[in-house]
Amino acid sequence: MITIPMIVMATIIGLLGIGFYCLLVNRHLIRVIVALQITVKGAMLGLIFAGQLTGQPAIGQSMALTVIIADTIVAVLGLALAVQVKRHIGTLDINDLSSLKR
């Protein structure tokens, strides 16, 4: 019988797996940022689930809120960096960023 905790664990593992796979495969800067967002959402769901399992949902939720704030800051800075890279280089391919070493 499939229970709710099993579904939540499968979702956590699925989000983390999809996020890590996309981080390894994609070479487009925007897609890398989206993959990082998916990975963090899986970790955040894991924090909330761990708080529920230990009987301390407030701690899990407060840690998840902290992760949301940090994740938003990282996403905004990553997208700002992507805009600047697009302006200066003309592409968002990560392999082409080696020309910035000069």
d(CA 39, CA 54): 23
Backbone angles phi, psi at 28, to 5 degrees: -100, 130
Helix, strand or coil, per DSSP, at residue 93: strand
28 has pLDDT over 70: yes
Average pLDDT over every residue of 4-27: 96
pLDDT higher for 13 or 88?
13
Could you tell me if 29 and 92 are in contact, meaning their C-beta atoms sit under 8 angstroms apart? yes
Could you tell me if 8 and 49 are in contact, meaning their C-beta atoms sit under 8 angstroms apart? yes
d(CA 49, CA 22): 24
What pTM does this model have? Answer: 0.89
27 has pLDDT over 70: yes
Give residue-wise pLDDT tens across range 50-92: 999 999 999 999 999 999 999 999 999 999 999 999 998 899 9
102 has pLDDT over 70: no
